[in-house]
Amino acid sequence: MSEAVSVKVSSRYQIVVPRVAREKLNIQSGDRLLVDVQDGVLVLIPRPQDYVAHMAGLHKEVWASIDTTAYLDEEREAWSDSEGD
């Protein structure tokens, strides 16, 4: 949606998700949405069917240049050094 669409809040505090948004996000009748407020903005997000699959690979670019084995070894060493504190 390149242009904001106005919706009206009913007397029961309900809104209708505009057709253009439903089509772009493939929202179907009966689907569940997550509701969040971020810096005074209401955000509706389609709820994933499978959270694990949805999160898989998220932010993988953060680890692209890091030797993960060395990183884990350093973290484990830090934990075992702090056990005697």
Task: Express each pLDDT in 61-85 by its tens digit.
Answer: 888 888 989 999 999 999 887 666 5
Domains in the chain: how many in total? 1
Task: Give me 19's structure tokens.
Answer: 């057709």
Indicate whether 36 belongs to any domain. Answer: yes
Give the range among 22-26, 58-62, 76-80 with minimum mean pLDDT: 58-62
pTM (two decimals): 0.53
Task: Express each pLDDT in 31-43 by its tens digit.
Answer: 999 999 999 999 9
Q: Under a CB-based contact definition with an 8 Å cutoff, are residues 44 and 17 in contact? A: yes
Structural domain including 66 reads: 19-82
Indicate whether 55 belongs to any domain. Answer: yes
Residue 75 is predicted with a pLDDT of 92
Check whether 7 has a pLDDT greater than 90: yes
Indicate whether 66 belongs to any domain. Answer: yes
Indicate whether 13 belongs to any domain. Answer: no
Indicate whether 53 belongs to any domain. Answer: yes
Closest CA to 44 of 73, 72, 15, 23: 15
